[in-house]
């Protein structure tokens, strides 16, 4: 009986939403206010594409090579040759060009009695590598490349 009552409640909620959305669409139609719809924006002559012919944002061509894929998920797999007692891992997205120190901390993790570290991070799409610092030793920082499958694999020996 409990499943049937939940099903009835869901059906009623869905029916209510369909009626409510249908009423708001009818009241906001162009002829309902009595006057014509006036657009404040003028067409942009710099746009080469007809907006009605574009199927998605990825099909749009915008100046300076801009793309809408601004970030991607990168899977990081760091393996250690020996079991680690206590290890701190810091992952950065860049290195400062002046001071040559890692910047833009993305994740800081600690592992204990483990031989592997796995993580998934959202990074800017233009990033080609990430900087990994193990146990705060910035002299032993690793700049690891992101491969074509959005993965970083590294074995620490």
Whether pLDDT at 60 is above 50? yes
pLDDT tens digit sequence for 76-113? 999 999 898 899 999 998 888 898 888 889 999 999 99
Whether pLDDT at 27 is above 50? no
Pairing of strands 142-145, 102-124: unpaired
Using 50, 70 and 90 to split pLDDT, how confident is the model at 29?
very low
Residue indicated by tokens 């003028």: 42
Question: From residue 93, how far is each of 75, 104, 129 by CA, in Å?
Answer: 13, 6, 7
Choose the weakest-confidence range: 51-65, 67-81, 103-117. Answer: 51-65
In angstroms, rounded to a whole number, what is the distance separating the alpha carbons of residues 30 and 20?
18
Domains, the chain, with CATH or none: 72-156 (2.60.40.4150)
In angstroms, rounded to a whole number, what is the distance separating the alpha carbons of residues 72 and 70?
7
Whether pLDDT at 26 is above 60? no
In angstroms, rounded to a whole number, what is the distance separating the alpha carbons of residues 145 and 43?
43
Choice between 39 and 72, residue whose per-residue pLDDT is larger: 72
Using 50, 70 and 90 to split pLDDT, how confident is the model at 54?
low
In angstroms, rounded to a whole number, what is the distance separating the alpha carbons of residues 63 and 46?
10
73 near 150, Cβ under 8 Å?
yes
In angstroms, rounded to a whole number, what is the distance separating the alpha carbons of residues 39 and 105?
45
pLDDT at 22: 67
Tokens of 155: 């074995």
Nearest to 127 by CA among 86, 91, 79: 91
pLDDT at 122: 87
């Amino acid at each position: 009986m409990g499943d049937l009552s939940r099903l009835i409640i869901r059906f009623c909620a869905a029916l209510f939403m369909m009626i409510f959305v249908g009423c708001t669409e009818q009241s906001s139609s162009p002829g309902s206010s009595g006057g014509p719809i006036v657009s404040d924006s003028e067409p942009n002559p710099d746009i080469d594409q007809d907006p009605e012919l574009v199927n998605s944002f990825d099909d749009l061509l915008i100046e300076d090579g801009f793309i809408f894929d601004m970030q991607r998920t990168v899977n990081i797999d760091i393996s250690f040759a020996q079991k680690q007692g206590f290890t701190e891992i810091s992952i950065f997205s860049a290195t400062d060009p002046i001071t040559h120190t890692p910047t833009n901390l993305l994740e800081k993790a600690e592992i204990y009695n483990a031989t592997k570290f796995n993580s998934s991070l959202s990074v800017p799409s233009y990033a080609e590598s990430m900087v990994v610092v193990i146990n705060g030793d910035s002299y032993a920082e690793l700049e690891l490349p992101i491969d074509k499958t959005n993965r970083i694999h590294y074995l620490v020996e």
